[in-house]
A = this chain, B = another copy of it.
């Protein structure tokens, strides 16, 4: 259920939104790798809730406690387990919901799958809170990748109808990428970011929510990772990206736009540059035949709008099997996309480090 099985890396994510803790075990990281726990914490803070008016009012420090796998801030070869305790839990908010499934949520499908035994409090194992341990694992991977000169950066490509400018698929300036990591609202265009913020607040005030697209750029990746058919890099990345709650679409390079291009337009011409084989455009998004070609990796993940909204919605009572209405209490992000940016980076880091090892 919550197991990522890579070639070398294996990640097990556990916890529920209102269980004593969430956490993860990752194994397969090489022994002897230094881990900078402060850098990790800064990464986790990008995802942590409660930062501002645009996100949920639930406040969690998201401070992992490492139970194993580290010795003197280095990996020791044993599986690394980290636990984040759940503190600010208000389970009572959810009591009324066990009978009336929230539209757009996993309430009903979890009920069918687990026969009523599921932990529905706070979304249980389906909660966005599960991305905290994902970010612990991915944050560790990002540090190993960085030492291997591979960098992964994501930005908000769009929220609702507001678009940031796309990444240049041939690469971005280092400075622009650094800014993304520090920004409260990671967009390339400051104006777009400000407008997105306004739209999110507006939606929140209307008891509604917004979706958006996160775009990710990976540079420094060597050619030769992945393989044909079921070993393709797109498939590996997509499988992991769809594990992020609310993701409904993933595409690479020109992606869905490629479908309306001609071959002569889409094919990236090869060239030689400083003794390296490169392509002069990057519609492929860095992947040919399922294998990295040495160009920047570019992909996008589409997030649906947060299903939890204050507006009244139509649902049913499962016990009485009749129509009723529901309005979702609890504390929710009116738009998960800003907090999803580091999650996308984390998932990409996990998959790509696994391929690299």
Contacts and interface: CB of A to CB of B under 8 A. Distances in A.
Contacts of A5: 5
Contacts of A264: 207-209, 309, 311, 313
A25 B235 CA distance: 21
Given A248-B253, A277-B108, A289-B105, A31 B117 contact: yes
Secondary structure at the A interface, as helix, strand, loop or mixed, is mixed
A212 interface: yes
A39 to B, nearest CB: 20
Contact of A81 (B15, B116, B254): B15
A260 B291 contact: no
A76 B280 CA distance: 29
Contacts of A81: 14-15, 21, 23
B20 A68 contact: yes
Contact of A1 (B160, B230, B258, B268): B230
A239 B315 CA distance: 32
Contacts of A14: 25, 27, 67-69, 78-81
Interface residues of A, number: 143
B269 A314 contact: yes
Interface in A252-279: 252-256, 258-272, 275, 277, 279
Interface stretch (A55-63, A124-132, A174-182, A184-192): A124-132
B262 A20 contact: no
A232 interface: yes
Interface stretch (A44-52, A165-173, A297-305): A297-305
Contacts of A265: 305
B251 A289 contact: no
B248 A242 contact: no
Interface in A211-263: 211-213, 223-224, 226-232, 234-236, 238-243, 245, 247-256, 258-263
B118 A76 contact: yes
Interface stretch (A138-146, A147-155, A316-324): A316-324
B248 A104 contact: no
Interface of A: 1-5, 7, 10, 12-16, 19-23, 25, 27-28, 31-32, 65-69, 71, 74-81, 83, 101, 103-106, 108-110, 112-119, 124-126, 130, 158, 160-161, 203, 207-213, 223-224, 226-232, 234-236, 238-243, 245, 247-256, 258-272, 275, 277, 279-280, 283-285, 288-294, 302-309, 311, 313-316, 318, 321-323
30 contacts: A3-B12, A13-B230, A14-B81, A15-B78, A19-B67, A20-B67, A22-B68, A67-B83, A71-B117, A77-B114, A77-B119, A78-B118, A104-B263, A109-B293, A112-B224, A113-B291, A130-B229, A207-B264, A208-B263, A209-B264, A230-B239, A235-B238, A235-B243, A248-B285, A251-B256, A262-B305, A271-B314, A271-B316, A275-B321, A283-B304
